[in-house]
Amino acid sequence: MQYRTLGRTGVQVSSLALGAMNFGAIGRTTQEEASAIVEAALDAGINVIDTADMYAQGESEEMVGRAIAGRRDDIVLATKATMPMGEERNSRGSSRRWLTRALEDSLRRLDVDHVDLYQVHRWDPTTSDEETLSALTDLQRAGKIRYFGSSTFPAYRIVQAQWAAREHHLGRYTTEQPSYSVLQRGIEGHVLPVTAEYGMGVLVWSPLASGWLSGAVRAGREVSTNRSAFMPQRFDLSIPSNQARLDAVERLAKVADEAGLTMIQLALGFATAHPAVTSAIIGPRTLEHLHSQTAAADIVLSADVLDAIDEIVPPGVDLAPQEKFDTPPALLDPALRRR
C-alpha cells in the first residue's frame, strides 16, 4: 500500500480509502459482511474509512461504528453532512444549526467522540461560507472534528471558501472529495489545479465509474452491476454518452490486457497517478470486490499506459457530463439564469 500526506495536515493516509456507501440498504451489505470488509481493508493497509450520514439514512455510519470497535486509533475516520436527513426542512444544508446537530448524530451512530475529517457533502447555496466555516471551526476547536473538508464543490466555490476563511480568520477546508475516473476527467481542468494551489488533500470518489470500469460492463454482455439496478439510465446504450463510455471501455480493456492488468487495476492506477490526488475511494459490497480492488494498491502505471489512456479519453473530458454533481445552480435552474 502506498501512503501520502493528506494536504498540508501531516496525516499519512493510504492511496486507497474504504468507502462505506454500500454498507446497509444501498448495497445490501450486512453487518457481518461489512465488519469482514473493514477488517480485511485494515489488514491490507487501508487506514481511511469514509462514510456519510445520508448513506442509508444513518445505517452505514452505525455499521462502520460496530466494525471499527476496538480499532478506532488505527483509522482516519471521515464522514459527511448536508444532504437531507428526513422530511423536516432544516434537517439538511450547511447552517450552524444543522451541522452541529448532524455531527452529534453521526458521533452517536459511529460510537466515537470525534471524527478525523468532517466534510460538507455538497455546496449549499442558501448558506454563507462564513456561517458554515465558523460552525466547523468551532466544532474543530471543541475537539469533535480534527479537520474539515468539502465534497463535490465547483472550483469557484472552493476558491471562494478559501478566501472567506482568510477574510474572517476561520479554519479552512483542508480536503476536497470530487468524482474522478478515466471516464470523467473534467476536474483535471478546474478543480484539481485549484486544490493543488491551496494545498488541499483530494479523496476522489467513483474511480470505477459506478461499475463501468470494473470489468463487468463489456460489449455484448448484459449489464448487471449493483448501480444498474437502481440507476438504469446510466447504462442505457440508447443514450449517446453511454455508448461513448462503452466504446471507451472496450479500448481501455485492450490497453489493460497489453499491460498485464485488470480493468480495476488500470482504473485505480489511473486515479491515483494524478499528482493532485491523495486517495481513491473504493466502495466494495463484498470481500471479493475488496480483494480485486486492493490488488491495485501498489500499481504504478507507466507513461506509455497513461498516454494510451489519454488517446482514448483526453485530459479534462467528461464522457457523461450530464452526471456531474458540481454544475453551478444557475445552469440547472432557469429562474437563476433569468433573475
Per the annotation, the verdict on 147 as an active-site residue is: no
Residue 330's alpha-carbon distances to 125, 161, 205, 326, in angstroms, are 11, 19, 25, 11
35: its cell numbers = 465488519
Say if residues 119 and 80 touch (Cβ distance below 8 Å): yes
How far apart are the C-alpha atoms of 321 and 5, rounded to whole Å? 31
Residue type, 328: P
150: its cell numbers = 468539502
- Where residue 100 falls (left for φ over 0; alpha for ψ -120 to 50; beta otherwise) is alpha
Say if residues 320 and 245 touch (Cβ distance below 8 Å): yes
Contact partners, residue 85, CB within 8 Å, separation at least 6 = 53, 54, 57, 58, 91, 92, 102, 105
Alpha helices in 68-216 (DSSP H): 96-110, 129-141, 155-168, 191-197
User: Looking at 55, 147, 173, 180, which residue is catalytic?
Assistant: 55
Q: Of 98, 85, 94, which is closest to residue 119 (Cα–Cα)? A: 94
Catalytically active residues are: 55
